[in-house]
């Protein structure tokens, strides 16, 4: 009976924000998995903070080559895991912040997909200097970030102002990473090929990475605003 009770507590929704009846394309996780993640929020926070620390260490060589003023634009994935850690922690203590919530959703969606995308597209290059266990760790740990992104709708209303801030932050990241570096060289994650080397016909590594990043920023904006609209439609926002 104790195991059954523990399972109900871990996977049940008692005391959690409502699931709000969003369509599957906006809330693709099984409800039990959403509940599980939210019930273990403090553990998720701790794992993300460890991941953030590891990520900053991982970027140590790129930091050394980048002007200090541009450092905030280098460690995209560690910053995203920091955003989701802070978002969940503030929700748990009853001080949820919608700006952090939107940044967390954008970051986990975007970097959670962008990194596996580049790992697959440039697999030969990455595997030339990355051990297979590290390659697999990077691939699956980033996909886990996507899973976390779909916890946020349970406790966030995605107000337009917060979505705008997140879209501007990640849009500006795309600009300085791939189009107008502002200070020094482009600040994207180092790719295994020279930025302007053609990897598919006339398409360069930089162009492919940029296309993925911009597409994910746009889709994050669409999903966040669609979630807000659907919440209005089902009456979950109550006029907020």
- Output the 3-class SS for 105-173: HHHHHHHHHHHHHHHHHCHHHHHHHCCHHHHHHHHHHHHHHHHHHCCHHHCCCCCHHHHHHHHHHHHHH
Residue 120 — pLDDT band, cuts 50, 70, 90?
very high
Q: How far apart are CA 34 and CA 11, in angstroms?
A: 8
Q: Can you give the pLDDT at residue 118? A: 92
Q: How far apart are CA 30 and CA 115, in angstroms?
A: 24
Smallest CA-to-CA distance from 112 within 228, 223, 23, 18 is with 223
Of 47 and 62, the one with more pLDDT: 47
Residue 9 — pLDDT band, cuts 50, 70, 90?
low
Which of 29-43, 73-87, 172-186 has the least mean pLDDT?
172-186
Asked whether the beta carbons of 114 and 173 are under 8 A apart, the reply is no
Q: Work out the percent of the chain whose per-residue pLDDT is above 90.
A: 65
Q: How far apart are CA 231 and CA 26, in angstroms?
A: 11
Q: Can you give the pLDDT at residue 87? A: 98
Residue 239 — pLDDT band, cuts 50, 70, 90?
very low
- Looking at every residue in the chain, the average pLDDT score rounds to 90
State how far the alpha carbon of 194 is from the alpha carbons of 48, 122, 177, 197, 213, in Å.
Answer: 31, 12, 15, 5, 18
Residue 162 — pLDDT band, cuts 50, 70, 90?
very high
Q: Can you give the pLDDT at residue 1? A: 47
Q: Can you give the pLDDT at residue 171? A: 97
């Amino acid at each position: 009976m104790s195991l059954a009770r523990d399972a109900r507590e871990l996977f049940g929704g008692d005391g959690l924000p409502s699931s709000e009846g969003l369509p599957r394309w906006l809330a693709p996780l099984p409800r039990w998995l959403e509940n599980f993640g939210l019930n273990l929020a403090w553990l998720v926070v701790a794992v993300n903070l460890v991941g953030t620390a590891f990520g900053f260490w991982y970027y140590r060589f790129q930091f050394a080559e980048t002007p200090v003023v541009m450092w905030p634009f280098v460690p995209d994935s560690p910053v995203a895991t920091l955003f989701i850690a802070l978002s969940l922690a503030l929700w748990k203590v009853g001080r949820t912040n919608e700006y952090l919530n939107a940044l967390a959703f954008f970051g986990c969606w975007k970097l959670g997909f962008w990194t596996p995308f580049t790992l697959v597209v440039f697999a030969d290059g990455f595997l030339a200097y990355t051990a297979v266990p590290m390659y697999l760790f990077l691939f699956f740990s980033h996909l886990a970030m996507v899973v976390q992104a779909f916890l946020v709708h349970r406790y966030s209303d995605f107000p337009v102002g917060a979505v705008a801030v997140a879209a501007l932050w990640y849009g500006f990241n795309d600009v300085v990473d791939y189009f107008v570096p502002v200070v020094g060289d482009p600040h994207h994650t180092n790719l295994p090929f020279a930025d302007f080397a053609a990897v598919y016909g006339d398409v360069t590594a930089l162009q492919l990475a940029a296309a993925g990043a911009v597409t994910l920023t746009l889709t994050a904006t669409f999903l966040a605003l669609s979630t807000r609209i659907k919440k209005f439609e089902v009456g979950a926002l109550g006029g907020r």
